[in-house]
Structure 1
Amino acid sequence: MSENNKESQLEIKPTTPSSSDHGPTSPELEKEAVQDGIVLIPKPLDDPRDPLNWPFRKKCVILATLSIALFAGYAAPFCGQLNLIQQSKLYHKTVVEITYFNSAASAGLAAGGWFFSPLAHKFGRSAVVFYALLGCLAAQIWAPLMTGKGDYWSYWASRLVAGFFGMVCSVLGPRYLVDMFFLHQRGRVFTIFHLALNFGASAGPTFSGFIARNNYWTIEYWWSVALLGVAAICVLLFLEETTFDRTPGAVNMSPPKNYLANRIQTFFPFLPGNTVVKATTLKETIRVAILPFKIAISPVVLLIAGFDAISFGFYVALNALTPVWLQKPKIAGGYGFDVTDNAAFTFVHWFGFLFGLVYGQLVSDRLPLWLASRKGGAWKPEYRLHALWFTNLFLMPIGLGLVGASLQYNLHFMVFALGHFFVTIGSMVSIPVTVNYIAECFRSHTIEATIPVNSMRLFLGLSINFYATEWVAKVNIGWFYGMMAFFTVFAFFFLMILMFWGHKIRQWTPFGLGSDEEGQHVVEGKSVNHHAV
C-alpha cells in the first residue's frame, strides 16, 4: 500500500470544514461517519479547529514530537544506572546503596504528574511540557557536577529532579492522543507513544554505558543534555494545543494563524492576554489539582494500578538490580561483566521493545474490534485488556522464572537474557494497553486519571531496592524472582475481574467522574479485516 493510500485511510475528513465556532454535527457528517466498516468515534465536529479533522501528517508530527520528548525525559533519570563501581568508590557506599539513585529517579517519575495537571489546566499542556523539559535538562547538568565525596545526597536529589520533570509527557501526552485520534486508532498510537517511554528508560543506560566505558562516569550525562535540548526545540517548533470542547454550544479558543504569533501565545502564556486555553480561576485550578486524588480511589483505577504496580514494578526492579548481578564477580555468583558488557546486554530490551511494538500494532486494535464485532459491533473498554493474555499471563512469569533460575543455578547468560526479553515484552505491551483503557474509562478526565496509575505503577519498583538484599537472604536468589513470577500471575486476576465485570465496576466510580464510550456502535457488519489503519 502506498503512503498516500495509507494517509487517505487515516485522514478521514467528514465534511468541508467551516469557520463556525460551535454547533452540532452536520447531517453530511453523520452520513460520512463510517469508513471501511468502522464507525468514527468520537464524531468530529464540522470545525477545522477540531483535532480530529487535522491532516494526518500534522497528527504524526505531533505524535513524533511527544515521543521524542518522552524518550528524552525517561532516558535522562537513568543515565547513571550502570556505572556502579566508580560511584561506589567516590561516595564510599555499597553497590546496592548506589542503586538507590534509581529509586530516586522513580520517585520523581511518580511525583511529577500531580503538579503538572493543574499547571496544564492554567497555562496549557504544551507550555508545561516545554518548561518541564528545560527543568530536566538543568538536572542533567547538575548531576555530573556532583564529584565530591560528600555529594551523595546532592546527586541523589538530581536524579529525583530529573525524574520529576522528565515524566511530564507520560501524563500529559495521552490527552493529546485521545484528542487527535479515533477510538479504532488509539491502540496502535498508544503503543508507539509508550515505546518511547520504555525505550528511553533502557536506552539511557545503554548509551551511557558505551560512552563512559573508558572514561570517568560524569561524561555519560552530556549526551542527554543535548538530547533534551533537541526535544525542547522540537516541542517549541511543532507541538500544538489539542484542547477542544465538542459539547454542543461550547466556545473554543482560536489560535493565531501566524506561525510566530502562535508559538508566542502557546509557550509564553504568562504574558498579559496570552493564552491558548480558556481563562480559569484559582478555585477551578484547585479543583483540577484535587481530581486525581478523587479518581485514585475508583475501583477500576485501583485494579489497573494494582496490576501495573506488580507487573511494571518488577520490570523496573529487574532493570535496577540487573547491573548488580551482571557486574558481580563469577566467583560470587555473578557474570563478571564490565560496564561495556553490561551496556551491550541491555540490547536485549531493544529486541523486546521491537517485538512488543509489532505485537501491539497487530493486536491492540484488531483484537478489541474483533471482539466488538462478535457482540453486534458495540464497544466496551474492557475489550482492550484481552491483548494481554499472551504477554502478561504467559511470557512475563516465564521470563522472571528464567531470570531466577539463571542466577540460582549459574546458567549461561543467554538464558538470563531470554528471561529479560520475555519480561520486557510484557512491560512494553501492558503499559499502552492499561493507560489507553484508563483514558477511555475517564474520557473527560484523561490526564487526571493517568496520574494515579502512573504513580502507583512505580511504587513497587522504586522501593524494592531498599529491601531486595533482605528478601534474597530470606529465600534465595532463585525464589526472589520466582516469587515475582507468581505475583505477576496473581496480578493478572485484577485484569480478569475487569474483563468479566468491568461494566459494573465502572459504575462504582465515585463523584460521577467516569465517562466512557461503551455501547457506541464501532463496527459495521461482522468483519474488521479491512478497517482503516
Structure 2
Amino acid sequence: MGEKDDVELPALSSSPLASEGLDHDHDQLVLIPRPSNLTQDPLCQLQNWTLKRKYAITAVLCLASFAGAVAPLSGQLNLADQEKLYHKTKTEESYPNSAALAGIAAGPFFFAPISHLLGRSSVIFWCLVCTLVCQVWGAVMTHADDYIPFIISRLFAGFFGAVPTVLGPRILTDLFFLHQRGRAFTFLHMSFLFGTIAGPTFSGFISANAFFPVEFWWTVGLLGFTIICCLLVLEETGFDREDTSKNPEIPERFLANRLATFFFGTRVIQPTTWEETAKISLAPFLVGLCPVTIIMGIFTLISFGFYVGVNALTPVWLQRPVSAGGYGFTLKQNAAFTFCHWLGIIVVQFYSHGLNDRLPLALARRWNNGVWKPEYRLHVLWLPSLVLNPIGLGIFGAALKYHLHYLVLALGVFLVTVGSLASVPVTVNYVVECFTRFPAEAGIVVGAYRIVFGLTISFYINPWVEAVGVGWVYGMMGFFAVFSFLFVMLLMWKGHAIRRVQFASLASSEEGERLVR
C-alpha cells in the first residue's frame, strides 16, 4: 500500500488497567507488539482491522477448530454396532479413536510448513474439505471386512481435522496484542476441546436408534457449513513490520480476494521456496528439543494425557456389563453421561476467561513494576492442575474399584475435565510466547505431547489393571499428576534461565517489555 495508507497510531491503548482486572485507573496498557502505521497490518486498530473484523475471523477459526475436532472422534461411543459388524471386542473398537488421536498429533507436523508456502487460510480451508471426505469414507465402511479401512479413515480425519487448531495460534498472534492473547487462545482451544466432547455426545444420541454410520453423516453437514464460513470470512493475516516491502499486494475486491486467498494462496503471502519450506519443517523438532519445551511437555504429557485416557476409555467402562465390572449403560445413557464433560468445559471457559489475562497482568504489575515475564501465565494452573485433576483421578478410580454410583464416576470425570482442560490454553500460550516467531510450531509440539500418552493408553490399560487393580491404576495417575506439576513450579522459579538455553535461530520472546505506564 502507498503513502495514503499511513495513519497516526497511539503509543498506548485507551483501556485502563482496571478493565483488565487491575485497580490503578491512571495506568494504561502498552501495545505489544508495536503496530506499524499501515492499514495492511492486522494490529493496526484504525480503519481496516476493526475489532469486529478480528472477532469474525476468530469466531470462524473457532468454528473450524470445533468441526475439525468433532469429525475424527464422532464414532467414539457407538461401540456395540461396530463390535457386531467387525467382530471385535469393545477394547479393540477403541483403536479407531486412538488412530484419530494419532492423526491429530501427526497432521500438524506436515501442514504447518505447507502453510508458509500456500497460506494459512488456504491450508485450513482445504484441510476441512479433506476432513469432510474422510467422514464420508468412514460412513460407507459398513462391511465386516472394513475394519482396517475404517481405522485408516479415522486416522486421516484426525490428520486433516487438527490443522485449524494448530495454525490458529499463528493467526491469533497476528491479530491480537500480548494483553489480549490469553482470552483469544482460550476460545480457540476450548472450541477444539469442546468438539472432542460434543462430537461423541451428538453422535451418541443421533445413532442410538440407528445404524452407526449416521453418526458420521451429520458431521458432513457441519463441515460443509464451516467450509462456507471459512470461504466467506477467513483472511491471510501475515504481515512483516520490519520490512514492509516484502508484504504482497492483496486484492481488495471480494471475489478477487477470495480467489487469491483460497485458490492461489501464494499470491497473498510472502514468497517462500520449497527449500525454505523444508527448513521450516525442522522448526517444530528444534522447538521440541529446547529445555523449556521439554519441561512443559513432560507436564502436559502426564497431566493432560490422563484426561485423554479417561475420556477415551470411559465408554468402555460404562458399556461393559455389570458382571464384568462395568455399568451396563446403553448408548443413549452413555451419551447423556458425557454432559459432565460439557459442564466441566463450561466451568473452564469462565475460569480461563476471567484469569488467563488478568492474573498474569496483575502479577507483572505487583511483582515486577509492570515488566512482562511469560512465566506469570503459569500461576493460573495452581488450582486446576495441582488440586482438581489429581482429586478427580482418585475419585474416578475409587468409583470403578468399589462400583460406586455412576454420579460419583461423573464427579470424577468432571473434576478431571476441569483440571486438565484449564491447562491447555495456558501451556500453549506460554510456549508460544517463548518462541514468538514460531507460534504454530510451538503449538504443534505442545499438542503432540498432550496427545501422545493418551492415544496409547488403550493398548496397555488392561495389563495395567490386571497388575495393580483398577483403583490403583487411576490412583497412580493422580499421584503422577501431582508429580508433573513440579515441572511447572520449576519453570515458575527458573523459567528465565531455562529459556536462555535454546537454539539461537529460535530465540524470541516478549520478556522485558513494559506492559503498563
1:80 to 59, 69, 75: 75
CA contact (8 A) 1:42 1:183 kept: yes
Name the CA distance, whole Å, in 1 between partners of 2:12 and 2:74. 49
2:223 to 223, 228, 232: 228
The C-alpha deviation readout for 1:259-284, integer Å capped at 9, x for no partner, is: 100000000126xxx61111122211
Partner residue in 2 for 1:313: 305
Name the CA distance, whole Å, in 2 between partners of 1:356 and 1:303. 24
Partner residue in 1 for 2:273: 281
Greater mean alpha carbon deviation, residues 54-63 or residues 510-519: 510-519
Aligned residue for 1:314, secondary structure, equals helix
CA contact (8 A) 1:19 1:48 kept: no
1:449 positional shift: 1.6
1:159 positional shift: 0.4
Within-5 A mapping of 1:395-414? 395-414=388-407
2:487 to 468, 483, 494: 494
The C-alpha deviation readout for 1:121-171, integer Å capped at 9, x for no partner, is: 001000000000011101100012111111111100000000000000121
2:451 to 458, 476, 485: 458
Question: Is 2:484 the counterpart of 1:504?
Answer: no
Give the counterpart letter for 2:179 in structure 1.
H
Give the counterpart letter for 2:38 in structure 1.
D
Aligned residue for 1:292, secondary structure, equals helix
Question: Is 2:34 the counterpart of 1:29?
Answer: no
Partner residue in 2 for 1:243: 238
CA contact (8 A) 1:369 1:523 kept: no
Name the CA shift for 1:352/1:20 in 2 (closer, same or farther; >3 Å): farther
1:429 positional shift: 1.1
Name the CA distance, whole Å, in 2 between partners of 1:190 and 1:371. 19
Partner residue in 2 for 1:62: 57
Task: Please tell me the root mean square deviation across aligned C-alpha atoms, in Å.
Answer: 1.5
CA contact (8 A) 2:433 2:509 kept: yes
1:134 to 129, 132, 144: 129
Greater mean alpha carbon deviation, residues 378-387 or residues 452-461: 452-461
Q: Which structure 2 residue ranges, 5 or more long, are not aligned?
A: 17-27
1:335 to 327, 342, 346: 327
Name the CA distance, whole Å, in 1 between partners of 2:293 and 2:151. 31
The C-alpha deviation readout for 1:280-303, integer Å capped at 9, x for no partner, is: 222111111111111110111111
Give the counterpart letter for 1:328 in structure 2.
R
Give the counterpart letter for 2:491 in structure 1.
L
Name the CA distance, whole Å, in 1 between partners of 2:4 and 2:321. 68
Percent identity of the aligned residues? 52
Give the counterpart letter for 2:289 in structure 1.
I
Give the counterpart letter for 1:51 in structure 2.
P
Name the CA distance, whole Å, in 2 between partners of 1:248 and 1:35. 29
Name the CA distance, whole Å, in 1 between partners of 2:345 and 2:272. 41
Query: Across the two proteins, how many residue pairs are aligned to each other?
Result: 501
1:428 positional shift: 2.1
Partner residue in 2 for 1:348: 340
TM-score scaled by length of structure 2: 0.94
Give the counterpart letter for 1:257 in structure 2.
E
Name the CA distance, whole Å, in 2 between partners of 1:211 and 1:41. 47
1:263 to 258, 268, 278: 258
The C-alpha deviation readout for 1:191-236, integer Å capped at 9, x for no partner, is: 1111111110001100000001111111111110111111111111
Aligned residue for 2:424, secondary structure, equals helix
Give the counterpart letter for 2:514 in structure 1.
H
CA contact (8 A) 2:309 2:458 kept: yes
1:32 positional shift: 3.7
Question: Is 2:450 the counterpart of 1:470?
Answer: no
Partner residue in 2 for 1:531: none
Give the counterpart letter for 2:364 in structure 1.
A
Aligned residue for 1:38, secondary structure, equals strand
2:94 to 87, 99, 122: 99
Aligned residue for 2:437, secondary structure, equals helix
Give the counterpart letter for 1:68 in structure 2.
L
Name the CA shift for 1:98/1:34 in 2 (closer, same or farther; >3 Å): same
Name the CA distance, whole Å, in 2 between partners of 1:31 and 1:451. 33
Name the CA distance, whole Å, in 1 between partners of 2:515 and 2:141. 55
1:33 positional shift: 4.8
Name the CA shift for 1:357/1:488 in 2 (closer, same or farther; >3 Å): same
1:437 to 404, 408, 430: 430
Aligned residue for 2:65, secondary structure, equals helix
CA contact (8 A) 1:122 1:280 kept: yes
CA contact (8 A) 2:389 2:415 kept: yes
Name the CA distance, whole Å, in 2 between partners of 1:458 and 1:173. 18
Name the CA shift for 1:208/1:29 in 2 (closer, same or farther; >3 Å): same
Give the counterpart letter for 1:347 in structure 2.
F
Name the CA distance, whole Å, in 2 between partners of 1:458 and 1:31. 41
Q: Which structure 1 residue ranges, 5 or more long, are not aligned?
A: 1-17, 525-533
Name the CA shift for 1:22/1:285 in 2 (closer, same or farther; >3 Å): farther
TM-score scaled by length of structure 1: 0.92
CA contact (8 A) 1:357 1:428 kept: no
Aligned residue for 2:9, secondary structure, equals helix
Give the counterpart letter for 1:73 in structure 2.
G
Name the CA distance, whole Å, in 1 between partners of 2:40 and 2:110. 28
Aligned residue for 2:251, secondary structure, equals coil
1:145 to 132, 140, 146: 140
CA contact (8 A) 2:246 2:270 kept: no
Name the CA distance, whole Å, in 2 between partners of 1:61 and 1:101. 34
Name the CA distance, whole Å, in 2 between partners of 1:19 and 1:355. 48
Aligned residue for 2:512, secondary structure, equals coil
1:250 positional shift: 4.8
2:316 to 314, 320, 324: 324
Question: Is 2:25 the counterpart of 1:45?
Answer: no
Name the CA distance, whole Å, in 2 between partners of 1:137 and 1:86. 22
Give the counterpart letter for 1:293 in structure 2.
F
1:512 positional shift: 3.1
Name the CA distance, whole Å, in 2 between partners of 1:139 and 1:504. 45
